[in-house]
Structure formats: structure tokens, C-alpha cells
């Protein structure tokens, strides 16, 4: 199968200037309104589908993003792999602003978002034990190094908070005690939904600030973040360019099983399934539902 690299650009990353033969293409989704149209084109000979998570102009707040529609339209566009590019705060002295963290674990503290494509009428439980595809991390790591990014951490735990306010000092200290490395507001439920849609997912988290635990940086402000974000965004563009250049054009089987996760996840008996929900799942779960 030919690979189609999906890029979800977060704060500061609303497009990729190197996309060739590109067109912003609107997709409808039975899950509602996605953040934006998809910019579909080619980068370094690789087919790429780009989605600005907050929409162009950063219109959408983390809680207002329709994560289900976003993942659904990426699946409809044929995306085989997703790289999430995200701004984040850091809980570690050795991950200062400008550092890139190739996250491999998440803690989900969000509470006001739709988190599953499944539910009453078709219940499914997918594993989130290993939410990130190590194969994608390998490519992202290689690309980050080739892009000359100075601090690149392989692995890290991303605490996803609801927001939009930043953490209190007590929360920031608590998350550090939990062993979290970075904090953001968007990668959950995005990673969960990508897993349900059988799209391998990996996060490149770009540190913009020290959250508020750090004695010398005891307040997070968007104006400070924006300054760092512009440099990070330029590095992210470079990283994605290198990633596309070396990305395998043919997709092999995913050792994590992320691309076949629904084989073992559905629990509702076929005769008890809701036809209306099955219809909405045509893209996300068509691979397993069309044959059952
Ligand atoms: C601009 S600071 C807070 C904002 O930035 C991050 O967004 P994204 O993950 O899409 O890069 C963070 O999660 C918040 O939404
Ligand atoms: N400190 C922080 N907390 C949550 N989301 C962020 N995005 C960037 N910095 C952040």
C-alpha cells in the first residue's frame, strides 16, 4: 500500500510552505465539522496531507476542536500515518524551550471532549498501552537530527490537560511528581482516535516554556510562547521536509499492530449493532465492518 503521510500542525504550524501541487480540499465528515480543509500535495516526492489542528488563523480552542471529524477526514483522504506537531510546556530542566520531544506516552486529563468513534450500538475497546508507533518515531528522530535540531529527546510522557487555562502551580508540581515530561492540551483524544481509526500516530512535541513549576519562570504567558513558537515552527517545517524525503513510499505491516487494532476490539454482537452508527464508521472502521 502506498503511504500517505498525515501531518497535524499545532500552534504556530498552520501549513507547510514546501508542499507542491497542493490544494486545500474540503471534506465532509459524519462526525461534524473538522478544523479546516486538508492541504493535499507532495513534499520531496511523498504524498502529504496537512491539517492545521486549530484551523488557519488559530480559530479553535483545544476543547473546541472536533478531533473525531479531523481523524475521520484524514482516514477518508487515505492517510496511512500521522505525525502530530505540538507546542508544549516542559517539566524538565534539561528540556528547555526549543527542545523537541518525541513523545511515547500520554496521560489523559481531558474531560470535555468526545473521545471515541464507538459507543452504544457498537462497543469497541482498543489498547492504548503503546500509543505511539515506534517506526514513526524512528523516522521522526532521524528527521529531527537531519534538520539540525539541537535538543531531541527520544521518549517522554505528555500530560494532556483540558485547558484553555494553563496549570496552577500545584498541578504543575503534581504532574512533575507523576514523572511527566511535557504538557499540552491537544494530543488526547487525538491519539486515541487515531488508534481507533487504525492510523499509526506519533507526536513531535516542541517545548515553548517551562510551565509554571520552574522557580525562574513561574508564569506561562502566550506572548512569551509566541516568540519561541516561531523558531520552533521553522524547525518543524525542516523536520517534516526531511521526514517526507526519507519516508518509505510503501507501507509495511506495523509491528505495534496499530494498523489492525480493530481486529480484536469489537465486542457488540453483529445482530445487536446499530446500523446508523455502522454507517458513520464507514471510513474509520470500514476495513472490519464491511466484511462482518
Ligand atoms: C499556544 S500555547 C497553548 C496551545 O498550544 C498547544 O497547541 P498544539 O498542541 O495544537 O500545538 C497546546 O496544546 C495549546 O492548545
Ligand atoms: N505550559 C503549557 N501548558 C499547556 N499547554 C501548553 N502549550 C504550550 N505550553 C503549554
Model pTM greater than 0.90? yes
In this structure, the dihedral spanned by the alpha carbons of residues 41, 42, 48 and 54, taken in order and rounded to 10 degrees, is: -50
* C-beta 189 within 6 A of ligand 2: no
Give the residue ranges of the annotated binding site for substrate.
185, 209-211
Average pLDDT, the chain: 96
The DSSP secondary-structure symbol of 168 reads: P
Q: What is the pLDDT of residues 131-184, one digit of tens each?
A: 999 999 999 999 999 999 998 899 999 999 999 999 999 999 999 999 999 999
pLDDT of residue 151: 87
CATH of residue 287:
3.40.50.1580
**What does the pLDDT average to over 230-243?**
97
* C-beta 166 within 6 A of ligand 2: yes
- Tell me the Ramachandran region of residue 261: left when phi exceeds 0, alpha when psi lies from -120 to 50, beta otherwise: alpha
Q: How many CB atoms lie within 10 A of CB 135?
A: 19
**What does the pLDDT average to over 12-27?**
97
Q: How confident is the model at residue 292 (pLDDT cuts 50, 70, 90)?
A: low
For residue 271, count CB atoms less than 10 angstroms from its CB and return exposed for 0-12, middle for 13-18, buried for 19 or more.
Answer: exposed
Number of domains in the chain: 1
Quote the domain boundaries for residue 138. Answer: 5-291
**What does the pLDDT average to over 36-58?**
98
CA 98, 194, 205 angle in degrees (round to 5)? 5
Query: Distance between CA 262 and CA 201 in Å, rounded?
Result: 15
Give the residue ranges of the annotated binding site for phosphate.
11, 53-54, 86-87, 186
- Tell me the Ramachandran region of residue 198: left when phi exceeds 0, alpha when psi lies from -120 to 50, beta otherwise: left
Distance 134 CA to ligand 1 centre (A): 23
- Scan for cell 475521520, then name that residue: 72
Query: Distance between CA 78 and CA 165 in Å, rounded?
Result: 35
* C-beta 89 within 6 A of ligand 2: yes
pLDDT of residue 38: 98
**What does the pLDDT average to over 68-78?**
98
| Strand, helix or coil for residue 173 | helix
165 backbone dihedrals φ, ψ, rounded to 5°:
-70, 150
**What does the pLDDT average to over 257-281?**
97
Q: What is the pLDDT of residues 183-192, one digit of tens each?
A: 999 999 999 9
Query: Distance between CA 237 and CA 83 in Å, rounded?
Result: 12
Amino acid at each position: 500500500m502506498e503511504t500517505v503521510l498525515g501531518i497535524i500542525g499545532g500552534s504556530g504550524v498552520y501549513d507547510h510552505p514546501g508542499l507542491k501541487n497542493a490544494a486545500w480540499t474540503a471534506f465532509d465528515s459524519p462526525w461534524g465539522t473538522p478544523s479546516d480543509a486538508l492541504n493535499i500535495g507532495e513534499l520531496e516526492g511523498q504524498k502529504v496531507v496537512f491539517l492545521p489542528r486549530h484551523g488557519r488563523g488559530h480559530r479553535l480552542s483545544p476543547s473546541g476542536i472536533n478531533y473525531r471529524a479531523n481523524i475521520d477526514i484524514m482516514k477518508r483522504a487515505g492517510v496511512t500515518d500521522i505525525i502530530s506537531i505540538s507546542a508544549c510546556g516542559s517539566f524538565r530542566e534539561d528540556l528547555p524551550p526549543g527542545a523537541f520531544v518525541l513523545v511515547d506516552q500520554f496521560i489523559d486529563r481531558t474531560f470535555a471532549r468526545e473521545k471515541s468513534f464507538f459507543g452504544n450500538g457498537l462497543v469497541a475497546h482498543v489498547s492504548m498501552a503503546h500509543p505511539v508507533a515506534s517506526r514513526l518515531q524512528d523516522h521522526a528522530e532521524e528527521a529531527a537530527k537531519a534538520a539540525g535540531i539541537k535538543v531531541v529527546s527520544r521518549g517522554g510522557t505528555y500530560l494532556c490537560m483540558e485547558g484553555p487555562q494553563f496549570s496552577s502551580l500545584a498541578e504543575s508540581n503534581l504532574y512533575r511528581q507523576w514523572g511527566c515530561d511535557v504538557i499540552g492540551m491537544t494530543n488526547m483524544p487525538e491519539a486515541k482516535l487515531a488508534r481507533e481509526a487504525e492510523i499509526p500516530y506519533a507526536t513531535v512535541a516542541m517545548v515553548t516554556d517551562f510551565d509554571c513549576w520552574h522557580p525562574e519562570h513561574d508564569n506561562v504567558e502566550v506572548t512569551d510562547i509566541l516568540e519561541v513558537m516561531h523558531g520552533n515552527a521553522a524547525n518543524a517545517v525542516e523536520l517534516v521536509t526531511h521526514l517526507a524525503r526519507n519516508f518509505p513510499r510503501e507501507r509495511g505491516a506495523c509491528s505495534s499492530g496499530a494498523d489492525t487494532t480493530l481486529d480484536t476490539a469489537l465486542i457488540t454482537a453483529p445482530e445487536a449493532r446499530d446500523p446508523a452508527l455502522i454507517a458513520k464508521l464507514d471510513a474509520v472502521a470500514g476495513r472490519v465492518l464491511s466484511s462482518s
